[in-house]
Structures are given as C-alpha cells and as structure tokens.
Structure 1
C-alpha cells in the first residue's frame, strides 16, 4: 500500500520561516506531516512553498508540480503576500484560489486551508497604514472561507485568537511564527484532520524543542535578513500604501470611513458571484 503523501503549497509561512533547524527552515507543515500517519508507516512529505509567493505562483508553478505527485493531502495557505503588493486584486485572488482548490478536489485530494491575521496588525503599524492592509486581509479571508466551504476543505480559523497577541508565538519579525507558533498551527491542523479521520498518527507536541532566540539574535536577524525583507516589500507596496493611508485620513475627516469598508465588501461579493456565475451551465 502506498504511503500517504502530503504536499504543502504556499509562501514563507509554510516554508517554515521563523522555525530554524540547523541551516534550514522546518515549520508547521513538516511538524504536521510527522503526525499524519503511524510511525511504522510515515507520510511522505514534500514542501513546495516559497518565500514571497503569491496566489499566482501557487496556481502557475506550485499546483502543477503538486498534482504530478498525486498527494492524498495538500495544504494551500496563501494570500498575505498578495495583500502586500500594489497589484492586489481580490477578483484575481478569488479566481486563482478557486482554480487551485478545484484541481485538487477533482483529483480526490484532501484539501487544507487557513485564514490568517493581517500584516498591519502584526507589525503594529499606525492606524491609517494598518487599516488598508487589514481590509485587504479580511477580503482574502472571506474568499478563503467561502471557497473552502464550497470545495469541502478542512479549514483552520487562524486569523483570530489568543495566539495572535501572545508574543511567545512569534519570531523577531512579528510576521512569522516562531517555533512555538508553528507548533500551534501544526497541533490545530492535526486536531481538525484527526476529527475528519485524515490524521492517524500522534499529534505534534505543542512544546518547543529548541530555546527561543535571544534578544540579540533577534535584533541581528532584523538588521540583516529582516531588513532585506522589509526593503523588498516597501519598494513595491510603500507608494501605494501611502496613497491608501491618505485616502483613509480623508475619509475619516469627512466621517465617511464606512464607505471604504463597504466598497471592499462589495468587491468580495462581486468576486464570489462571478465565480458562481462562471460555474453555472449554459442555459442552452
């Protein structure tokens, strides 16, 4: 009998950034893989996630590679990087995710998804800068919720909860979980999969295997790799984010801030409606 194969798709969160083991990253997906099957018949695990990936990368690069592996379980956790780009388009995000989810479900693969906290809150940005990012992440999360239900995914609600405010769960950059945070995701995913009869191995431990990085080590990371990460994102997003923040300030001054939320809600509804219409058979 062929061992269960688990393939993970996504960005730096699934790649394991924030949970270093030796010279590489481990992360929640690798921790989860160890608990999907009994120890005497371990699951085969392939991690296709790449730092910086967006929904387009998952659709065009990662999904074809994963389909070729014919996994029994696949995780698709993506979308934060889309919100950090000036090209953000919730219609495009919804269409891409719908295609990805449908491709795996058509192959009979069990699908794992998750909604995530917004980066503005995690970075503790000022309100006018944080609100546009929060609005975008809510839009992505709403789409992921709706499509996860449509495609019968095992969905983890990770956008809220005590773990968001628990500093011990997060790495120095405040965007990626540390080892404890990655373990939290693995434990919660395992519980959902076990309830669905899809995980038959021992649950991952919630307790870290390694000591948390010292404050000096965290500051060194921020001054080296972390600085490069911020610089790459700012080059793309910052000009638009300043424009979005100015728009926030203007609407707040006019007392019309609710209009921005309403516009975003209408865009999400339009994106999901467009997918539903596209799936309907021709009247003829």
Structure 2
C-alpha cells in the first residue's frame, strides 16, 4: 500500500474562484494546483466556485459540498474566497452587508475542521464597489488573523496592476483574461506553497 502524500484541496467561492474569463479555464486556483503538481505533490482539486455567489451563498452550501468530497486518510484542505458580490448594490442595497459578510466568514472558519486558506476579494472596474472591497478585505484579514488562518489580501496589488486592470476593463468589467489570473496567482503562490508544505 502506498504511503505517498495524497493532497485533496476544495476551493469554495465565487466566479473568480471558478476562473470566469480565463480562456484556459484554470483561473487562479488551477494555477496554484498546477504549481503543486510541478513540485511532485499528487493533488486532487475540487473547484466549487459559482458565479454571483456571495458569502451568504457559500455559507449555506459549504458543509454539504465539503462533506461529499471528504477522503479520510488524505491531506484535506479548504480554500475560500468571496466578497466582491457581497459588495455590489442591487435594487438599492448591498447584496450582503459588510457586517454580515464578516460574520459569515467567521462562521465558516469556526465550523471547518480542515486547514483553511482565505483569499481576499479582488478589484473590479467599479470604483464604488472597490472602496467597499478594500474595507471588507481588511476586515476579512482581521478575522483570519484571529482564527490563525492564512489570508492573502490582493485588492491593493491588483488595483495597481496594469495587466489586471486593463483585462478587467476590456472584458466584462469584473473578470480578467489569462494574464490577469497569472498576476493573481503569483500574489498567492508563496503563501500557497508554504501552506501545502511544498
């Protein structure tokens, strides 16, 4: 019987987790998984990103989705990212209020028994949304610090990244193309490799 490491990673979140806009259909999560593979770490990856999902949507579904993919005896881990959809105004109000978004992240982290890595929400081509994303990302960072969970804030670096901003602007106003996801994955890679022990 093999004793080789068997890494299983479940990614929960929104369209950025799903990699919408990437012609290679890998997004940032697929790029991180590829980096593990290149380092000879056998990895099974489950991308559970859903377009338009908010923190409330993820909170409602995460336990059943994770339970269906558990593999006893494996190195199981959870990646979580949401927040942009929470910060969008629809019908005159935020889809999810900031206090609720923060509470939702805390509930998820408190309920998970798996090692978890949280990725902050990225900027889009909407200044008012981005102001809320900046504030929400900072609060997410505080929640993760209190929980002892690794967190990478990406909103500031990507807002200053010409490739990201141009691809988002020239695309659908929210999602980048492949090069933009390359930039996002590069911001996450050092923490990811440390987290998986690569």
Match of 1:20 in 2: 23
CA contact (8 A) 2:8 2:45 kept: yes
After superposition, the CA RMSD in angstroms is 2.3
- How far apart, in 2, do the equivalents of 1:110 and 1:140 lie? 22
For 2:120, the equivalent position in structure 1 comes to 115
Structure-1 residue corresponding to 2:83? 79
Counterpart Cα distance in 1 of 2:139 and 2:160: 24
Q: 1:136 to 1:168 in 2, by over 3 A?
A: closer
Deviations 1:167-207 (A, max 9, x none): 4332412421221121222233221133x35242xxxxxxx
Indicate the residue corresponding to 2:150 in structure 1. 154
Bigger CA radius of gyration: 1
Structure 1 residues without counterparts, runs of 5 or longer: 124-129, 201-284
For the residues of structure 1 that align with 2:139 and 2:188, how far apart are their CA atoms? 20
How many angstroms apart in 2 are the aligned matches of 1:188 and 1:117? Answer: 11
Relative to structure 1, the CA distance from residue 168 to residue 142 in structure 2 (aligned partners, 3 Å threshold; closer, same or farther) is: closer
TM-score by length of 2: 0.80
> Which of 80, 92, 103 is 2:100 aligned to?
92
Give the count of matched residue pairs: 183
More strand by share: 2
Contact 1:101 1:111 (8 Å CA) reproduced: yes
Question: Deviation digits for residues 83-120 of structure 1, max 9, x if unmatched?
Answer: 1142431222122111111222xx1x22121223444x
TM-score by length of 1: 0.58
Specify the alignment match of 2:196 in structure 1: 198
Q: 2 CA distance for matches of 1:199 and 1:37? A: 13
Whether the aligned pair in 2 keeps the contact of 1:36 and 1:42 (CA below 8 Å) is yes
Q: Summarize the Cα distance change of 1:111–1:90 in structure 2 as closer, same or farther, 3 Å threshold.
A: same
- Structure 1 residues 166, 91: CA separation in 2 closer, same or farther (over 3 Å shift)? closer
Q: CA–CA distance in 2 between the matches of 1:138 and 1:167?
A: 18
Q: CA deviation at 1:26?
A: 1.8
Distance in 2 (alpha carbons) for counterparts of 1:185 and 1:49: 16
Give yes or no for contact 2:119–2:153 (8 Å, CA) kept in 1: yes
The Cα offsets for residues 31-77 of structure 1, whole Å up to 9 and x where unpaired, read as 11122356655200001110110111111113431244236221111
Cα 1:177–1:152 change in 2 (3 A) is farther
Structure with greater helix share of residues: 1
Would the aligned equivalents of 1:101 and 1:151 in 2 still touch at CA under 8 Å? Answer: yes
Structure 2 SS opposite 1:18: coil
Residue in 2 aligned with 1:168?
163
